[in-house]
Structure 1
Amino acid sequence: MKARIILASASPRRRELLDQIGMTYEIWPVHIDESPRCNEAPHDYVRRIAAEKSAACHAQAVHMGLPVLAADTTVVLGGQIMGKPKDKEDAIMMLRRLSGRTHQVYSAVSLRGNEHGEALNVTHVTFRALSEREILAYWATSEPADKAGSYAIQGLGSVFVQSIRGSFSGVVGLPLFETAELLLQQGIQVLHE
């Protein structure tokens, strides 16, 4: 089946989500500096990163004539961006901070084709209280090592989630409602005959 979009990401989770809605795509990951700017608000940060990813990919793949989809997701606690952990100590510190509290997961989507469309999803996730033993055992699984906020809601980290208010797929890495809306604006229907 012929690709309908280019995915500017190597994330297996984003691929799984696009597969879930039957979207065909080419994978074209890009590498940009994802460092937050000084005093950059979380919603501005994720929107900027998603837009920069789609712009970089679109510039490289313009000859393919396909819309480019990019996304960025970050965990935010008390207004502070919690990226991927640098090491074990950083991951443990993040999980301790998330324990027993509600945090937000910001997911921005950027789609470049005939025009540029953007969307933002904010989901509230509440963790139950975590024991030190659980945190250390979770680190030992290696799952938190490359995840924003040091957890994967679609994996073993799901046992920490007491409640979620918003988009599950947004927490995983690609809010599907917003993505489908952006695709529709570019004339790409997810559900078609």
Structure 2
Amino acid sequence: MNDNSITPIILASGSPRRRELLSLLGLPLEVMPSEADESFPPEWEPERIVSELALRKAEAVHPLAGERDAIIVGSDTIVVLDGRVLGKPVDAEDSKVMLAALQGRSHKVYTGVACIKLGDGRNDTLRPEVTDNSGSQSVRLGDLGQYSVLSESPDGEPVVMAGYTESKVTFRPMSGEEIDDYIKTGEPLDKAGSYGIQGIGSVFVEKIEGDFYSVMGLPLNLLYQMLLKYNVCPFKIG
């Protein structure tokens, strides 16, 4: 195992939010935006959706990363209201409908994260399809979420892992004028659920039950536990 101070993280996303969050760990960081297929069957449960899409993003970058010692990280976030997945709005009117539905109510935010270890002869990342992450190697993070080891190297070290977190966000009541003014800022138009909790949209959030960073788009606490499985620890750099 190489010294973790030189183990780079490859972020399979062009999201500025995820890059900012991942940089907090202080590990060498490279960004390689993923073009993975983000479609999914309507019967999939939210935790399966985000875990699978996070893994697809990491796998899409894998062939481009080369044979080196690195860890690819993929992530995906969805907003769920009354069992319905709210993706990014298609236009301002769609954004208005979403925000009107969210105001004055609670909804759930699911964020998936997946890791693929490169190098050391570990480039065969074939794995079973993600289902509910409840296999024998599943590790829970309290009541926040969990992750599973999906494949291992011949020496029993983890190669591919995927998991998710679940948080609950409550919006205060919002007037129609507030919703219109918020949409005019442009912030909601490229966000799942049509809001950004790290931006001005935070003024509408009454309460968060769960993990703030997961709602932003990357569960750092879950990712930290997964990185430890690779013997990578941000506190032992240098």
The alignment's C-alpha RMSD in Å is 1.4
Alignment match, 2:100 = 96
More divergent stretch after superposition (146-155 vs 60-69): 60-69
Query: How far 1:2 sits from its partner (Å)?
Result: 5.4
Q: Does 1:112 align with 2:116?
A: yes
Unpaired segments ≥5 residues, structure 2: 123-158
One of 131, 134, 141 as aligned partner of 2:185: 141
Q: Does 1:171 align with 2:215?
A: yes
Q: Does 1:123 align with 2:167?
A: yes
More divergent stretch after superposition (108-117 vs 163-172): 108-117
Measure, in 1, the Cα distance between the counterparts of 2:27 and 2:186: 30
One of 2, 8, 13 as aligned partner of 2:17: 13
CA deviation map 1:139-160 (0-9, x unaligned): 0000001000000000001001
One of 53, 73, 77 as aligned partner of 1:49: 53
Task: State the structure with more CA Rg.
Answer: 2
Identical aligned residues as a percent? 42
- TM-score with structure 2 length normalisation? 0.78
One of 69, 72, 75 as aligned partner of 1:68: 72
Displacement over 6 Å in runs of 4+: none
| Matched pairs, number | 193
Q: Does 1:58 align with 2:62?
A: yes
More divergent stretch after superposition (5-14 vs 28-37): 28-37
**Contact preservation (8 Å) 1:3, 1:26:** no
Measure, in 1, the Cα distance between the counterparts of 2:57 and 2:43: 21
CA deviation map 1:66-115 (0-9, x unaligned): 11000001111111110000001110000001011100100010001051
Q: Does 1:39 align with 2:43?
A: yes
Query: How far 1:65 sits from its partner (Å)?
Result: 3.0
Measure, in 2, the Cα distance between the counterparts of 1:162 and 1:190: 32
CA deviation map 1:144-189 (0-9, x unaligned): 0100000000000100100000110000000110011111111110
Question: Which secondary structure state, in structure 1, belongs to the residue aligned with residue 98 of structure 2?
Answer: helix
Corresponding letter in the other structure for 2:214:
G
Measure, in 2, the Cα distance between the counterparts of 1:141 and 1:23: 33
Measure, in 2, the Cα distance between the counterparts of 1:161 and 1:5: 32
Measure, in 2, the Cα distance between the counterparts of 1:12 and 1:24: 16
Unpaired segments ≥5 residues, structure 1: none
**Contact preservation (8 Å) 1:42, 1:80:** no
Q: Does 1:158 align with 2:202?
A: yes
Measure, in 2, the Cα distance between the counterparts of 1:136 and 1:123: 26
